[in-house]
Structure 1
Amino acid sequence: MALISYGEMYKWVRDDVLGCESLINSWDAMDSFCREHVVCGEGDGVIICEPCVDKEPVCVEGSLTERFTFCYCTLISKLKVRWPLTVCEKGVLETLGVAPTQFHPNSWAFVRGFEILCVGLDITPTVDKFFYFFESRINKRSSWMSVHGVNGRGLLTLFQSSYKDFKKSYFRIRCCPGHENVLEGFPLYWKQKTISFGGLPAEKLSASDQEDVKKLDGLKTVFNTVKLLDLENRPKELKIYIDKMASMSNQELMKLWKQQEASKAVAAEGVGEKARNIGPISRPSVLGESSHKRRREIETAVPLMNLEFSSTQKFNPLRGLLVYAWVRIGMPWTVELIRVRLARFGMRSLTILLTSAKPICLTVTRKIWRR
């Protein structure tokens, strides 16, 4: 089916979705992905993974005789989402009225991190508990539904500040006979009207849920979502990590957060010239910290290039001597000689201009020297 036909059928879908064609468009590509990643958590015979056909976009609907849904590859490879979806995951999708691929991967990471954190604290993850800490965000400039932390109830960090390169890798998921419940309890296809929800007050929760969110609130810390996903299958290390984070003070948490952000920035941008373009790094606020202190810290952040100079650059004595001689002797003598020549020929305006430009030339030269 041509792209223009999909555009006529789904006029409410943005072009960045309609214009994407999945790279998983053959059985070879599908088999290769399934060999490298675990898609189903209950073994074989539960779901069927199929490649996309006819250059179909991810928002295409099925029919009464052909029920399926789409799944982004990044949900499996990076966020470790497993089919069938959990009760909590299905509940979040159903509450917001979105299909699995209509929910942004960063928001999927919040759901996964929340589930892992609850398991580490022997708490049953539920939809109401999740939406006590998170609320949905409808952004007209984005095709995907997102959630973010409720103000004052920060629990998890963002998985990736800029989640890219996921739009063109998706595949179909169908259920095997006898496992129809795999595709029940949540929307299978994209919906034009989604639901804004979240930020539930404690009064609207059940008594047991209130006790659990009070326990989570009492931790008074923000957990690293990437770290939680990494520790999912290591329960002992997960509990140690949670206990360690819960016992740290605000100052210790800020120090740890800065170290993690600095290491991520260096790994992403590299050391040297790329690091020169990295500015102050924004961060989530910590409970009890004033906005004035946060703003002052951001404004006075030290660029990474100053910290990396000694390990990435070597001082050249000969180059330094030549630049020093040029700044102290060559540049002033050349400027003065040109000024005298211009004055001799009566070019007073150019003489004044050159005299005023002399400090600028010296400043530029010094900046080159400092590099």
Structure 2
Amino acid sequence: MVLLRKLDEAKDYPAVIHPVGSDWERQVRAHYTRADGTLNINGYYTEMFGFAVKSSDFESGSSDSDSSGNDRDRVIISPSEFSSKNPNNRSLIVADSVATISTSMEISSRFTTDEFVSTFRQAVQVSGEGGENRVVIDPVALGEFVTTINEQEPHYFYMYTHLLQTLHLWLPFNFFECQVLRVMNVAPCQLHPNSWAFLKAFQVACEGLDLVPTAGVFFSFFHVKNVSPHSLISINSQPNKGRFSLYASNFKNYRDTFLCFRCGEGFPELMFDASGNRLFPFYWSSSPRLIKGTRPNTLNEYERLTVSTLSKFQVLSSVELISREDKPQSLGEYMGSMSTISAQQRAALVMKARAQKAEAERAADSANAMSQLVVEESGVKSTKRKNSEVSR
């Protein structure tokens, strides 16, 4: 099955989804069943779930087999397009009280049943490294929020499916993404969508120039303006050093699209390193770090070269970069059009950086990124917590 992510505008969805097998579902299925017995998939899913599925194969009614898989079973699904209010049967600890977390974060997920998680998995691929079947995705209980902290095995993390789709993020998170989450001391769901877009756009730009992205280089261009344990954390451009534009002026309809992700059998690298240490904070942090920038004198020669190379571009569009991630020629043309130096000068910088890339990757693995960063005391106080059992 070829899975495509559609970057449509988010929209409103039904507050209630009727389970498969219910009277309503049977009526809808009967209504969209054609005279020849085939099902109008587009109409059925639009009526049932509030999202459109387009499939030339389903609609054609063709029964010809095609082992190549090039254009068979193509499903296109828009982001944040599920809704459900049904609880499941897992158990966890809720560690944040209503009094201490902003009501803006107290939003239940749409994905509260195994049925709708299964529907999501059939339509959307989350792992780009052949680990799709080894990433376990669980539904979310009613009364469970992204601020909920699990204190027992198995551990998992929350992530917004809308961001995975829209920004083309893949699991497992790569080294750079894990590094930034660690130094910021935030869970994946704690980072604002535009901040994730900055991370992604920065990586695409580095990829286009064959550069190694590191936290030290990233925070040469970005900083954290303020932090709070009660809201999402935003990354902003450094004053007079911004090289990447904001992805969206206002992200909408993503807060109720979170799911629980955990390691499947034989796939610890989703969440742990080879020594069994956590690759990033799994749960909402009460003490995110206020990172104000990088100490330039702590960057190694390669990182200084990377900063210099990226500084020779006009402000790059995060949207344009992300849309060109899998189009090397288009990405190269766009980067060239935004450069402030000649093609020959740019090529010389890239060749110099490329010669040091292997060594730079080894250095990044062993570097102490925290020692490179300027971190201010944020004044964030620990959140008062209560432990209460919630049926999942």
TM-score calculated relative to the size of structure 2: 0.59
- How much is the aligned-residue C-alpha RMSD, in angstroms? 2.2
Q: Pick the structure with greater CA Rg.
A: 1
Superimposed CA distance per residue, residues 67-89 of structure 1 (whole angstroms, 9 cap, x where no aligned partner): 00001012111111100001110
Q: Aligned partners of 2:105 and 2:290: how far apart in 1?
A: 21
Q: Does 1:21 align with 2:108?
A: yes
Q: Aligned partners of 2:96 and 2:315: how far apart in 1?
A: 45
CA spacing shift, 1:182–1:134, aligned 2, 3 Å: same
Counterpart selection for 2:205 from 114, 117, 137: 117
* 1:73–1:171 Cα contact (<8 Å) kept: yes
Q: Aligned partners of 2:98 and 2:221: how far apart in 1?
A: 33
- 5 Å-filtered alignment, 1:184-195, equals 184-195=278-289
* 1:37–1:76 Cα contact (<8 Å) kept: no
Question: 1:127 corresponds to which letter in structure 2?
Answer: A
Q: Aligned partners of 1:53 and 1:152: how far apart in 2?
A: 45
Counterpart selection for 1:203 from 267, 279, 297: 297
CA spacing shift, 1:45–1:37, aligned 2, 3 Å: closer
* 1:12–1:192 Cα contact (<8 Å) kept: no
Counterpart selection for 1:225 from 318, 326, 330: 318
- 5 Å-filtered alignment, 1:10-49, equals 11-18=99-106, 20-43=107-130, 44-49=132-137
Counterpart selection for 1:173 from 253, 261, 278: 261
Q: Does 1:246 align with 2:339?
A: yes
* 1:133–1:154 Cα contact (<8 Å) kept: yes
CA spacing shift, 1:23–1:106, aligned 2, 3 Å: same
CA spacing shift, 1:189–1:140, aligned 2, 3 Å: closer
TM-score calculated relative to the size of structure 1: 0.62
Counterpart selection for 1:85 from 173, 192, 195: 173
Question: 1:191 corresponds to which letter in structure 2?
Answer: S
Q: Aligned partners of 2:320 and 2:282: how far apart in 1?
A: 30
Q: Aligned partners of 1:189 and 1:10: how far apart in 2?
A: 17
Which ranges of structure 2 fall in alignment gaps of 5 or more residues? 1-86, 88-92, 272-277, 343-392
Question: 1:56 corresponds to which letter in structure 2?
Answer: E
- 5 Å-filtered alignment, 1:21-170, equals 21-43=108-130, 44-140=132-228, 143-170=231-258
Q: Aligned partners of 1:140 and 1:27: how far apart in 2?
A: 33
The alpha carbon displacement at 1:248 in A equals: 9.1
Q: Secondary structure at the match of 1:109?
A: helix
The alpha carbon displacement at 1:140 in A equals: 4.7
For 1:234, the equivalent position in structure 2 comes to 327
Superimposed CA distance per residue, residues 4-29 of structure 1 (whole angstroms, 9 cap, x where no aligned partner): x95864643212112x1101111222
CA spacing shift, 1:235–1:198, aligned 2, 3 Å: farther
Q: Does 1:215 align with 2:309?
A: yes
Deviates more, 1:62-71 or 1:141-150: 141-150
Question: 2:215 corresponds to which letter in structure 1?
Answer: V
Identical-pair percentage: 26
The alpha carbon displacement at 1:122 in A equals: 0.6
* 1:38–1:76 Cα contact (<8 Å) kept: no
Specify which structure has the higher proportion of helix: 1
CA spacing shift, 1:123–1:42, aligned 2, 3 Å: same
Q: Aligned partners of 1:94 and 1:141: how far apart in 2?
A: 16
CA spacing shift, 1:7–1:49, aligned 2, 3 Å: closer
Q: Secondary structure at the match of 2:291?
A: coil
Specify which structure has the higher proportion of strand: 2
Which ranges of structure 1 fall in alignment gaps of 5 or more residues? 250-371
CA spacing shift, 1:217–1:98, aligned 2, 3 Å: same
Aligned length: 244
Superimposed CA distance per residue, residues 199-249 of structure 1 (whole angstroms, 9 cap, x where no aligned partner): 214222111100111111122x01110111110011111111100111599
Q: Aligned partners of 1:11 and 1:69: how far apart in 2?
A: 23
